[in-house]
Chains A and B, each alone.
Chain A
Amino acid sequence: MPEIDIDPTTRIEGHHGITLQVDADGTVTEAKSKMEMFRGAEIVTLGRPPSDAPQITGMVCGVCFLCHRFCSSKAAEDAAMNADNVDFGGPPANAVRLRDTVEGIFYLWNHAVHLFALVGPDYSDAVAGTGFDRLDPLEGDGYMAAMANQRKVMKALAEFGGRAPHPVAYVPGGLATRPDVSTIQAVKSRVQEVSNWLGATENVPQVIENVQNGEFDPALGEGLHDIVSIILAAAEAGAADIGQGPDRFYSNGMFEDPESGELFLKRGVYRNGSAEELTKQEIIDGITEDTEYSWYTDDSGGAPTEAKPPEPAPEKDQAYSWGKAPRFDGQSMEVGPLARMVITGLDPFDLRGTLGGGAAESNTLNRLIARAQEALVVRDQVMGWLDAIDPSEPFMADDWSDDFTGKGVGLMEASRGALSHYMDIENGEIERYQIITPTIWNLGPRDGSGQPSPLEEGVVGDVVSDVENPLTVLRTIRSMDPCLACSVHVQSPENASKTEVEPVTPSIGGGGCDI
């Protein structure tokens, strides 16, 4: 049985490879998702004051930088609110609104970069002969317009954060920055500009018709035409029939109304064919991590509220990734925009229902469609959220202090999926820290019962018709928008493969990479 090793997986964030067992017909029978970088974020965080945690963990990833800073701040604030020896009442409503709004703008950035720069090329003319040459990397008009527009979104983020990536204004207790009316206006006009390039949500049906007929009407939205091109090219390439995940989804919920506490994107799980809304505590209670196939000691697993920081064990038999295997009620769960759309019950224009084989089907096409749908849905809310911010009200709590003893959990939805930070503080010092990232939910290793991660399950059954060119597998990996930097992992030092088939993907112009 041939073994295909794809390493590096490019056009994702970070170091990742995948080993596939393929039978005589080219059907993938087993996959091992390998995470290939380790830095030790949780270990570095220990012994420092809680306010340093968002600074450190925020810089764990330069692609999804805001979410870690935000989630870590939420964990620190939760710990302070749970502490007996301080009276911390939580961040001001303005801070809750603004941080959520900024993450909403960030969704727009991440989804655009993902769709155009990371997965888009797989459906471009240059890479896949689709005829969509606007999607060609570093050459197509659509790709270049997306790069220009991602820059504008980053400027909007810099108005609040001082710079992007790695803005530094978001701290436990709220925000250092105190945006005035003109700053908020500047952000709105930048977002509006990008929004105009994207096009109005209501234009989606007309744009689908345009793309099907080979027409291009910039007045309906240049970005929308290109995103629809990606979706239709993916549908044409059979993306609905590959990458079938477990059909189980989990979301921490996102975009909270500070007055009512209501979440715009719901918190809960989807399993056995239906969505269940869950409380924060029910989510916390349901999660465990397994280290059977991870380069960590066996006792590094367990409930993240109790487990010790992961202890490296590179000599461990059978292990192949230093990603742990997080599970909810013992089950693997897919996270990301598709999970949020399914749990919230949103399928605008019935796109997943009609193109993707069903609104709650876990497949490669639906992940792309859901990401596009969410970009539009959240974009349509952001201006209203910005309007709700009151520059005359405080952005930073008066009573924040590092000096307390308490335990806290931060739950949120990063653009890539469910993110949680766990922080134990003793006398103003971090005693225990755990991070569970979206990517280890989707791309982690199997667990002790042999249950694979959604990616490992997703590529099994896919047919690699050309072992030299396993584009289907790459499309599935990228559909999950992995971000490896924040998944504290390392590759097995013993990378033994019996029969190695060298995979080749098409490149621009056939020769070397001319970029």
Chain B
Amino acid sequence: MTTRRNFLRLVGSTAAGGVISQYGTEIARAFEQVAEGDMEVVWFQGQSCTGCTISTLQAQYPTLEEALNEFRLEVTFHPTIMPEAGEAAIESMSMSPDILIVEGSIPTDIPEAATIGGRTAEDWVTDLAPQSDIIVSVGNCAAFGGWPAAENKKRLYDLGENVTGAKGLQFEKRKKGGVLGADFTGGAGLPVVNLGGCPPNPDYVLLTLATVLNGHVPELDEYNRPLPFYEPLVHDNCMHRGYFDRGEFADKPGGEGCLLKQGCKGPYTHCDDQTRLWNDGTSVCLNVSAPCIGCMEPGFWDRFSPFQQEMEGSPVLGNVSATQAGAVGVAAAAAGIGAHLGRRAMGYGKFESAEKADAETKAAEEDTE
């Protein structure tokens, strides 16, 4: 238990993107340990864009090819990189993998909307998951439904709000359930581990795999995301935070100032990307003045769209406008309370309890009714 926490805290509390390299040895050891035990992995794609695969290919410590090859993880199926095609590809797939990784959402109203080898993704996943020890949803689509579940606002052609009925494995947006049901657990006794993000940071994928391969039980938040990666608030670590506290807001994307009024969803979004950074410590969305779009969260897309508009009246931000928020921030800072307390006083921040998650589920259910 202690080891697990230490390992997760270490890899989760990086001060800069490159820090992960310091723990490369431990990560490498995790993969080496499983090399002796014929661990089989299936990487399955539902309604996907392959962005999560491409993101994972950018991992550095270890690289994905090292994880797959040097550490001899047996990936019996990955449609983008495997040598086989056709029936041979299907035959090589383990039907009871140690780890099942799913990328992309699973269509349930039009199951034929994602097929492989003549079978629907829904059939594949509902067959594979109960036979798998550990199941990991990589990306917002596999975790929560992602963009295929984004709203059909015009209700065209008698199709539902969700065009193909796209769901995540164990969630549909913020609602528990998904394709496998709310109570599902894999062979190792864990629910589906959700790595939200469009796409998730590659470190999240390989570090989560390293954690479970080490035999540790990852500490999960209310949306089954590994807590260390998804606990920090983007807004807390934003390079433009000083502007927010002074109430200085940009008047267009890329303008000088806090991007809240340009639709930044940083105050509602949880991930450690602001400190971890992307592409081996190169940059992150807000560092190039692009407003956060909230891609790490369940309910992304529609919860945060229109993307360039400020989110008003949100249950997270309350009814405090950006200008008022800045003013409160300034007042709080002036009073010596500090930005952090100032923010808490306004009633937004991370979701703090399971009760709150259940309330979110309930609210989401009411939204759809």
Binding site for B on A (CB under 8 A): 5-15, 17, 36-40, 43-44, 46-49, 51-52, 55-56, 59-63, 65, 117-118, 121, 126-127, 137-139, 144, 147-148, 150-151, 154-155, 157-169, 171, 173-179, 309, 311-312, 314, 395-396, 398, 400, 402, 474, 485-486, 490-493, 495, 502-508, 512-515
CB-CB < 8 A to A127: which residues of B? 83
CA of A44 to CA of B164 in the docked complex: distance in angstroms? 11
Given known A62-B199, A161-B288, contact A155–B279 (CB-CB < 8 A):
yes
Among all A-B residue pairs, the 10 with the closest Cβ atoms: A62-B51, A47-B153, A163-B278, A40-B163, A177-B288, A158-B279, A176-B254, A176-B253, A62-B49, A162-B285
Assign chain B's interface to a size class: 35 or more
Q: Is B190 part of the contact surface with A, judged by Cβ < 8 Å?
A: no
Verify A46–B156 contact, CB threshold 8 A.
yes
Mark interface residues in B250-281 (1 if CB within 8 Å of A CB, else 0). Answer: 00111100000000000000000100001110
Verify A150–B57 contact, CB threshold 8 A.
yes
Closest to A314 in B: B112
Mark interface residues in B218-238 (1 if CB within 8 Å of A CB, else 0). Answer: 000000000000000000000
Verify A507–B57 contact, CB threshold 8 A.
no
**How far is the CB of A348 from the nearest CB of chain B, in Å?**
29
- Additional pairs, 19, CB under 8 Å, beyond known A61-B49, A400-B252: A10-B84, A43-B157, A46-B153, A51-B308, A56-B150, A137-B81, A159-B282, A159-B283, A167-B290, A168-B290, A176-B254, A485-B49, A493-B112, A502-B87, A505-B88, A507-B88, A514-B74, A515-B81, A515-B82
CA of A39 to CA of B90 in the docked complex: distance in angstroms? 23
Question: A8's contact among B76, B117, B287, by CB below 8 Å, is which?
Answer: B117
**How far is the CB of B63 from the nearest CB of chain A, in Å?**
7
CA of A15 to CA of B47 in the docked complex: distance in angstroms? 9
CA of A179 to CA of B287 in the docked complex: distance in angstroms? 11
**How far is the CB of B194 from the nearest CB of chain A, in Å?**
18
Mark interface residues in B130-162 (1 if CB within 8 Å of A CB, else 0). Answer: 000000000000000001101111101101000
Given known A10-B89, A47-B154, A155-B280, contact A61–B51 (CB-CB < 8 A):
yes
**How far is the CB of B196 from the nearest CB of chain A, in Å?**
13
Question: A6's contact among B47, B85, B154, by CB below 8 Å, is which?
Answer: B85
26 contacts between A and B (CB under 8 A): A8-B86, A8-B90, A9-B86, A10-B79, A11-B81, A39-B148, A39-B163, A44-B147, A47-B153, A47-B154, A51-B307, A62-B50, A137-B81, A138-B81, A151-B58, A155-B279, A160-B288, A165-B55, A166-B199, A168-B285, A169-B254, A171-B290, A175-B254, A505-B83, A507-B88, A513-B84
CA of A157 to CA of B118 in the docked complex: distance in angstroms? 37
Q: Is B115 part of the contact surface with A, judged by Cβ < 8 Å?
A: yes
Verify A154–B58 contact, CB threshold 8 A.
yes
Q: Is B95 part of the contact surface with A, judged by Cβ < 8 Å?
A: no
Verify A15–B86 contact, CB threshold 8 A.
no
CB-CB < 8 A to A14: which residues of B? 45, 48, 50
CB-CB < 8 A to A508: which residues of B? 83
CB-CB < 8 A to B163: which residues of A? 39-40, 43-44
CA of A474 to CA of B14 in the docked complex: distance in angstroms? 44
Verify B289–A178 contact, CB threshold 8 A.
yes
Verify A158–B283 contact, CB threshold 8 A.
yes
Most chain B CB within 10 A, of A126, A160, A490, is at: A490
Given known A40-B164, A513-B84, A513-B92, contact A168–B293 (CB-CB < 8 A):
yes
Verify A36–B154 contact, CB threshold 8 A.
no
Closest to A7 in B: B117
CA of A400 to CA of B279 in the docked complex: distance in angstroms? 31
**How far is the CB of A243 from the nearest CB of chain B, in Å?**
16
| Chain A interface SS verdict (over half) | loop
CB-CB < 8 A to A43: which residues of B? 152, 154, 156-157, 159, 163
Q: Is B80 part of the contact surface with A, judged by Cβ < 8 Å?
A: yes
Q: Is B96 part of the contact surface with A, judged by Cβ < 8 Å?
A: no
Verify A312–B157 contact, CB threshold 8 A.
yes
CA of A46 to CA of B163 in the docked complex: distance in angstroms? 12
CA of A157 to CA of B284 in the docked complex: distance in angstroms? 11
Binding site for A on B (CB under 8 A): 45, 47-55, 57-58, 60, 63-65, 68-69, 74-90, 92, 107, 110, 112-118, 147-148, 150-154, 156-157, 159, 163-164, 166, 198-199, 252-255, 273, 278-280, 282-291, 293, 295, 301, 305-309
Closest to B250 in A: A176
CB-CB < 8 A to A60: which residues of B? 49, 147
CA of A113 to CA of B273 in the docked complex: distance in angstroms? 26
Given known A59-B147, A158-B283, contact A176–B290 (CB-CB < 8 A):
yes
**How far is the CB of A90 from the nearest CB of chain B, in Å?**
16
Verify B85–A474 contact, CB threshold 8 A.
yes
CB-CB < 8 A to B152: which residues of A? 40, 43-44, 46
CA of A492 to CA of B118 in the docked complex: distance in angstroms? 9
Verify A163–B285 contact, CB threshold 8 A.
yes
Given known A36-B115, A38-B110, A314-B112, contact A164–B278 (CB-CB < 8 A):
yes
CA of A60 to CA of B148 in the docked complex: distance in angstroms? 9
CB-CB < 8 A to B285: which residues of A? 162-163, 167-169
Closest to B151 in A: A44
CA of A32 to CA of B76 in the docked complex: distance in angstroms? 28
Verify A177–B254 contact, CB threshold 8 A.
yes
Verify A491–B65 contact, CB threshold 8 A.
no
Verify B150–A158 contact, CB threshold 8 A.
no
Verify B50–A485 contact, CB threshold 8 A.
yes
Verify B54–A165 contact, CB threshold 8 A.
yes
CA of A486 to CA of B195 in the docked complex: distance in angstroms? 23
CA of A48 to CA of B81 in the docked complex: distance in angstroms? 36
CA of A328 to CA of B14 in the docked complex: distance in angstroms? 54
Closest to A469 in B: B88
Verify B49–A63 contact, CB threshold 8 A.
yes
Verify A507–B199 contact, CB threshold 8 A.
no
Question: B291's contact among A40, A56, A176, A314, by CB below 8 Å, is which?
Answer: A176
CB-CB < 8 A to B280: which residues of A? 151, 155
**How far is the CB of A189 from the nearest CB of chain B, in Å?**
12
Verify A61–B50 contact, CB threshold 8 A.
yes
Closest to B48 in A: A485
Given known A163-B283, A485-B50, A513-B76, contact A38–B118 (CB-CB < 8 A):
no
Closest to A9 in B: B85
CA of A506 to CA of B92 in the docked complex: distance in angstroms? 12
CB-CB < 8 A to B76: which residues of A? 512-513
Given known A37-B114, A176-B290, contact A513–B148 (CB-CB < 8 A):
no
CB-CB < 8 A to A159: which residues of B? 282-283
**How far is the CB of B212 from the nearest CB of chain A, in Å?**
20
Given known A59-B49, A513-B92, contact A503–B153 (CB-CB < 8 A):
no
Closest to A431 in B: B154
Verify B252–A39 contact, CB threshold 8 A.
no
CA of A117 to CA of B148 in the docked complex: distance in angstroms? 28
**How far is the CB of A500 from the nearest CB of chain B, in Å?**
9
**How far is the CB of B175 from the nearest CB of chain A, in Å?**
19
CB-CB < 8 A to B286: which residues of A? 162
CA of A401 to CA of B63 in the docked complex: distance in angstroms? 42
Verify B290–A169 contact, CB threshold 8 A.
yes
CB-CB < 8 A to A311: which residues of B? 156-157
CB-CB < 8 A to B86: which residues of A? 5-9, 502-505
